[in-house]
């Protein structure tokens, strides 16, 4: 499962790469026709929100960019330009983040609205969250934060500013970006580097927010009981497949595999973290330890709904011995794949290799597990 704060640190936030036509728009060069802009949410974020109407809590402000004040370095780096422009309009707050301090040239436009640009030129777009008229049951929070960029080596390379918006249990990080209205394009519909170049003016455009979504998360607990144990075996490992459906019960958000290992009879508990709030979760015991039988054998499953980050719904599985003779163990590699006749389990013998994440043993299907089949 992904961790919300870790996920935000691992995302490289990109800024809309608008050609420098944005820097050369001159009202006298364009016709009298008014330019229009429609800003929409990134459809890739739909999976992080259960109701698209919640996007109605996101609006954007536009600040006119003074093109005469742009440096040569900014002309070569639009990300730097957007960041520097944003810094002109924000102030630090007591929480260590930032608030907008200046009145925008165009304020509070809703997503999906066709906005008429009366004064053509280049604008900085900054998103924020609002409570709609009539109130809302959603918790709306927003500020501007520094978000770390991560390089190919996994290390932080720099930090950039972005709007951080919470709508209920959903978090969105929206990068500032530059838009130009109108702009020019060539015959192949490529934006031109200058409005002075020969081309066609484009007066109507749709702009997609540069945003990532990240839901608030909770946990579940898998309680496992082993009623007996074969003293001659090395260990008994039980394997659980956790399927998370989010934002609705028909959309598979993630499917991961975890194990609980016993060296004696008793009870053990496994907490699975990072499950989006509102998720429907199905838990299968896909492997019962070779010499043991589960009371909820695959393809049966337990199911819970995760609604509160402070509560941890739990499920229980009980395994009993199915043989009286002990035995050693063999190491198997399990794979869940389609062989042409349907999706099913496959295994081969390989060496042990497990991975620890968030303080628990986590094992994907491509990793290994130790079964205790009798030799």
pTM value > 0.95: no
Give the pLDDT score at 57.
83
Residues present in the chain in total: 375
Q: Please give the CATH topology (third level) of the domain spanning 217-371.
A: Immunoglobulin-like (2.60.40)
Give the pLDDT score at 77.
87
Give the pLDDT score at 129.
86
Structural domain boundaries of the chain?
A: 4-215, 217-371
- Cis peptide bond upstream of 299, omega within 30: yes
Give the pLDDT score at 177.
95
Give the pLDDT score at 289.
81
Give the pLDDT score at 355.
32
User: If the chain, 375 residues long, is cut into consecutive pieces of 10 residues, what is the mean pLDDT of each piece?
Assistant: 39 34 48 88 78 78 92 87 94 88 93 94 92 56 76 64 83 91 92 83 95 86 94 87 90 91 94 90 91 91 90 94 51 47 44 30 33 35
């Amino acid at each position: 499962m992904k961790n919300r704060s870790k996920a935000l640190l691992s995302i490289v936030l990109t800024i809309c790469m608008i050609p420098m036509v944005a820097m050369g728009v001159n009202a006298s060069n364009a016709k009298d026709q008014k330019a229009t802009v429609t800003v929409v949410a990134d459809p890739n974020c739909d999976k992080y929100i259960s109701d698209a109407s919640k996007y109605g809590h996101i609006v954007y402000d536009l600040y006119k960019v003074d093109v005469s004040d742009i440096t040569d370095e900014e002309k070569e780096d639009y990300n730097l330009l957007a960041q520097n422009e944003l810094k002109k309009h924000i102030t630090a707050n007591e929480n260590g983040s930032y608030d907008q301090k200046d009145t925008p040239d165009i304020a509070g436009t809703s997503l999906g609205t066709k906005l008429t640009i009366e004064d053509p030129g280049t604008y900085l777009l900054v998103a924020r969250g609002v409570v709609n008229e009539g109130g809302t049951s959603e918790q709306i929070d927003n500020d501007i934060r520094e978000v770390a960029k991560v390089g190919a080596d996994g290390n932080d390379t720099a930090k950039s500013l972005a709007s951080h918006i919470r709508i209920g249990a959903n978090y969105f990080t929206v990068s500032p970006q530059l838009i130009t209205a109108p702009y020019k394009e060539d015959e192949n519909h490529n934006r031109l580097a200058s409005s002075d170049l020969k081309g066609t003016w484009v007066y109507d455009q749709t702009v997609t927010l540069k945003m990532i979504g990240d839901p608030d998360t909770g946990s579940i607990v898998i309680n496992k009981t082993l009623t007996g144990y074969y003293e001659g075996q090395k260990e008994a490992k039980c394997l659980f497949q956790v399927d998370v459906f989010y934002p609705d019960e028909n959309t598979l958000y993630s499917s991961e595999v975890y194990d609980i290992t016993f060296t004696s009879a008793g009870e053990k508990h496994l907490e699975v973290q990072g499950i989006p709030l509102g998720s429907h979760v199905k838990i299968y015991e896909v492997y019962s330890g070779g010499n043991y039988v589960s009371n909820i054998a695959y393809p049966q499953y337990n199911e819970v709904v995760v609604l509160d980050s402070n509560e941890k719904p739990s499920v229980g599985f009980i395994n009993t011995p199915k043989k009286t003779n002990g035995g050693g163990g063999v190491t198997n590699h399990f794979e869940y794949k389609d062989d042409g006749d349907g999706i099913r389990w496959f295994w081969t013998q390989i060496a042990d290799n497990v991975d620890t994440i968030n303080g628990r043993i986590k094992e994907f299907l491509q990793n290994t597990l130790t079964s205790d089949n009798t030799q």
